[in-house]
Chains A and B, each alone.
Chain A
Amino acid sequence: MFTIVAREEMAAGTVILNEILAPSIAAKARPGQFLILKANEKGERIPLTMAETDPEKGTVTVIYMVVGKSTELFKRLKVGETYQDVIGPLGQPTHIEPGKNVICVGGGTGVAVLHPIARGMKQAGCNVTSIIGARNKDLIILEDKMRLASHELHVCTDDGSYGHAGFVTEVLKEKLKDGGVDQVVAIGPVPMMKFVSQMTREFGVPTMVSLNPIMIDGTGMCGGCRVTVGGEIKFGCVDGPEFDGHQVDFDELMLRLKAYAAEERCSHERCACEERGAQ
């Protein structure tokens, strides 16, 4: 029945963790795969990556940033309450090549998606350097877990309130200059993935990004998640969500993500009003 068994607020309540009972999904899930969740009858189908799975307990964990109506509804669910629908595991699992020198770059909630990948790579005998960042100290998530999943960890904040002052790309550039990097994994806001990919292209380092196009079914049925990769149309939900960052048309993705901006604002405002009305 997709019951929430644990709940945590991170990053000053803007990022929420839900551990959800979903045994058949937990039994199958692999790093890099995602779920589609629906809060209630009228809710939208929303994709979220699995940050953690526990096949023994039969649970899956999602960590999401509260950005609009649906994530706001998700945030309001308490332990013991249920998601009406949880579908998965969807998408291709991360392809991990053992024994490589890898830099994992994560921004914002992207760190939640990055963590199982970094951990998987470390377990596969890769040498993992991670660089995570956020706007300020309060918004840094999973620092301890990332430290465990990496051989070396760098933390950056845009405003300099913690760790390195500045963008993750600045630290990345130094590392790339040092050389010896086999692969970069970048997960975070689209502009960040775009800039990381531009930088690694100059250094000729293969780069994997995890894309977040707008999705509905998540099974290749609607084509709403179309992204252009290497001049070809791919479906984010079945061909991805991970792609070669050097081939992705990020500008197109950013435009497509704005397709429903007006409607999303309307939904969010109504949601806020309902909240106030209820109080």
Chain B
Amino acid sequence: MSATQTPRQAMPEQEPAVRARNFEEVPLGYTPEMAMAEAGRCLQCKKPACVQGCPVNIDIPGFIKHIAEGELDKAIGKIWERNLLPAICGRVCPQESQCEGNCLLGRKGEPVAIGNLERFAADWEREHHACVLPSSDDATGKKVAVIGSGPSSLTVASDLVLKGHGVTLFEAFHKPGGVLVYGIPEFRLPKDIVAAEVACLESQGVKLESDVVVGRTVTVDELFEQGFDAVYLGVGAGLPKFMKIPGENLVGVLSANEYLTRANLMKAYLFPEVDTPIPRGRRVAVLGGGNVAMDSARTAMRMGAEAVSLIYRRSRDEMPARKAEIHHAEEEGLHFELLTNPVRYVGDDQGRLRAIECVRMELGEVDASGRRRPVAVPGSEFTVECDLAIVAIGSGANPLLPGSTPDLPLNKWGYVIADSNTGKTGKKGVWSGGDIVTGAATVILAMGAGRKAADSIHEYLTWGW
């Protein structure tokens, strides 16, 4: 049977009715047999389009070939050449619009399940510890401070430590990982996987200092005074956006950042085993249509909600969330309230949320974003009863660090201006990348930015600014 005829290996998953009430991971992972069968579908293209779709240019046919031949240690080694967080990327990258979106097989049938294979290789390694990590170059004596510990910072740290530089990660929270630990839920990305990938960096010599809020505990300039030769800012886009509609401060209206931080970082879903509480909505409304909205809604489901509605102002086709997550959410019984915009929160006399007044939308002219602009249908107001509303309409640049670094050039929205090829900012010795430069984006783009910055920092430490 030719490769094109072999069907794509479906990922085994927890049953929707079961998983919608637990926090365990939804996709269960391939068996070695499934992985080899899937790897066998790859055409090993001479000019692999998949690689071009990958922001960090993993040698995709290379690692897939090793899986097909059962050389799993070599497969993970191949991935590590370009990406030290494969267990994470294999789970959360938007493959459908990157590697898999480009795969030749996708033109006629289904693309190779590159993400599933990447995850398989990484999980196999974590279970077997069969491989030796790449070794570091000789120590250069240079020191780099990396602020934040999200995917972008982790990439910078790993690249620079391999080149022999001393690297210290400074994290404001008590745990490293950025959005990977406080945002993305356990059922999509188990936290011990993030911990394992961070531990792997530490074993290579990266120092981690959590509980340090740069801009408060210590400033960027003070880090230079303490002897750091370069600073990388990977602080993410941690400023919650609200809709600025009446009733936003009612008890029961939370930003997705707050809801997910309580649930993931503070493990509040285990309350009262842990001390941090989380509101358990009976009827929950989530505002937004991206990954953050899906994660919030699916978390609410798992917290025992009777009904969860996702309120999104455009249509389903425009939802920015990963296709797989929209599909999972739907299977789990989430209700989509599409082409709908909230106009006002309604509370009771105790200041608690009772309902949201909404208006129906229709799609009008194409706007600057290339999507048809939603416009309100006059007189179409209706109410959605709910006791918990989670606002997941995006996030902006948190001004805390930039505000304490006055000579760091920012754009008009408060994001750090950095060269897209090198990550260099307008302040000498300072690089930046990830969500704090681009605005909320993806794990792999944050990693790609980290890689470029690491190259540029290395060049600087070797040759000068």
Contacts and interface: CB of A to CB of B under 8 A. Distances in A.
Interface of A: 24-25, 28, 38, 42-45, 69-70, 73, 84-90, 216-217, 219-224, 226-228, 233, 238, 252, 255-256, 258-260, 263-264, 266-267, 270
Given A220-B399, A263-B271, A264-B277, A88 B217 contact: yes
Given A216-B261, A233-B248, A256-B251, A270 B242 contact: no
Interface string B219-256: 00000000000000000001110100000110110110
Interface in B157-193: 172-174
A255 B350 contact: yes
B238 A219 contact: yes
Nearest to B239: A220
Given A24-B217, A73-B275, A259-B279, 19 more contacts: A42-B273, A42-B275, A45-B174, A84-B174, A87-B211, A88-B216, A217-B172, A219-B172, A220-B238, A220-B239, A222-B240, A223-B254, A223-B257, A224-B255, A255-B352, A256-B249, A259-B252, A266-B272, A267-B275
Interface in B272-288: 272-277, 279
Contacts of A73: 275
21 contacts: A24-B217, A44-B266, A44-B275, A44-B276, A45-B266, A45-B276, A85-B174, A87-B172, A90-B216, A217-B172, A219-B213, A219-B238, A221-B240, A221-B261, A222-B240, A223-B255, A233-B242, A255-B350, A255-B352, A258-B251, A267-B277
Contacts of B255: 222-224
A70 B217 contact: no
A221 B257 contact: yes
Q: Which of A24, A44, A84, A219 has the most CB of B within 10 A?
A: A219
B249 A224 contact: no
B400 interface: yes
A220 B402 CA distance: 13
Nearest to A271: B275
B324 interface: no
A28 B172 contact: no
B258 interface: yes
A51 B152 CA distance: 37
A260 B249 contact: no
Contacts of B277: 260, 263-264, 267
Interface in B67-87: none
A69 to B, nearest CB: 6
Q: Which of B172, B242, B252, B275 has the most CB of A within 10 A?
A: B275
A256 B217 contact: no
Nearest to B251: A259
Contact of A222 (B211, B249, B258, B279): B258
A196 B240 CA distance: 33
Interface in B258-274: 258, 261-262, 266-267, 271-274
Contacts of B173: 217
Interface string B321-354: 0000000000000000000000000000011100
Nearest to B241: A223
A70 B238 contact: no
Contacts of B400: 219-220, 238
Contacts of A270: 272
A38 B218 CA distance: 20
B398 interface: yes
Interface in B24-72: none
Contacts of B216: 28, 88-90, 219
A84 B339 CA distance: 47
A267 B271 CA distance: 9
Contact of A38 (B174, B258, B398): B174
B104 interface: no
B254 A224 contact: yes
B153 to A, nearest CB: 16
A77 B183 CA distance: 31
Contacts of A222: 240, 255, 257-258, 261
A226 B217 contact: no
Contacts of B276: 44-45, 216
Contact of A221 (B218, B238, B249, B266): B238
Contact of A70 (B261, B275, B350, B351): B275
A44 B266 CA distance: 7
A114 to B, nearest CB: 22
Contacts of A224: 254-255, 258
B212 interface: yes
The 9 closest A-B pairs by CB, nearest first: A255-B351, A263-B277, A222-B258, A221-B238, A44-B275, A223-B240, A223-B255, A42-B274, A85-B174
Contacts of B267: 42
Nearest to A69: B275
Given A28-B216, A238-B400, A258-B251, A216 B266 contact: yes
Nearest to B252: A259
A44 B352 CA distance: 23
A43 B211 contact: no
Contacts of B242: 223, 233
A219 B261 contact: no
A31 B338 CA distance: 49
A28 B266 contact: no
B272 A263 contact: yes
A84 B173 CA distance: 12
A50 B411 CA distance: 35
Contacts of B212: 24
